[in-house]
Copies of this chain bind each other. A is one copy, B any other.
Amino acid sequence: MKIGVFDSGVGGMTVLSELRRRFAKTHFVYLGDTAHVPYGTKSSAQVRKLSAECARTLSAQGISALVVACNTASSLALGEIREACGPGIQVLGVVEPGVSAALEALQQKPLGAPVLVLATKATVKSGLYGRLLREKGVTVFEQACPLLVPLIEEGWTDHPVLHQVVEEYVSSYRKSHPTGVALLGCTHYPWIQEAFQRALPGWTVVNSAQAIASALSCIVGTTDPSTGSRSQESQVDWIFTDPDAIPEFVLPLA
């Protein structure tokens, strides 16, 4: 079985990494649209057009399922991606699994504790996370964090500047709410999960990668017997639309 993983750039590797751990025998095809990254600052029309093009490229690879490991594309373009893939390919976005993970973490919190969605500008503007969470009666805050992807891609993941920027984005929520759930709504953010945890000490920081892997299990209808075995390395084919524009910090991973 071949599974496609699509991201605007390299952030989806945090999702792929969890998928490889869980589906050790699966053949993955990762497409990073490095020629057009970042999606998070583009208009919804542009995100839809680019996402559909990438979906067509991946569907030509003979995949049977596609994980849209990009929150911006998942929030804005899931319809276009499904249309581009056609009925033979199951398409899974990251928003619904993220929402499920946040709701699960919220069960451990006092009544009325909020969910803070941290994401790109385009994801926040789409309002999808907020809508899905409010439907469940949850208090939601959505915070766009446009400087974090550039900082992460520079490798400044533990730099004082990174901590200062995170503080700028989250401090008002920490001051108004001693506890809550912070949902990482951008696949780059797991690389700085500790920085968020440090800035939100009483909060639970939720990375949706595990929830995505569980959702994929349900969709493809298999659980991989060799889970956790290092001897059975999953295969990954890499496609980058601009192969010379991969940020240096992920080169050891790709």
Contacts and interface: CB of A to CB of B under 8 A. Distances in A.
A151 B147 contact: yes
Nearest to A162: B161
A37, A153, A245 pick with most chain B CB within 10 angstroms: A245
A51 interface: no
Nearest to A38: B38
A146 B36 CA distance: 16
Contact of A242 (B46, B153, B164): B46
Nearest to A50: B35
Tell me if A's interface is mostly helix, strand, loop or mixed.
loop
A151 B149 CA distance: 12
Q: How large is the interface on A (under 10, 10 to 19, 20 to 34, 35 or more residues)?
A: 20 to 34
A147 B152 CA distance: 10
Given A150-B147, A151-B147, A154-B147, A242 B43 contact: yes
Given A45-B242, A161-B164, 5 more contacts: A41-B153, A42-B245, A147-B147, A147-B154, A161-B168
18 contacts: A35-B42, A35-B46, A37-B41, A41-B153, A41-B247, A42-B242, A42-B245, A43-B243, A43-B245, A45-B242, A46-B244, A146-B153, A146-B154, A147-B147, A147-B151, A147-B154, A147-B156, A161-B168
B150 A244 contact: no
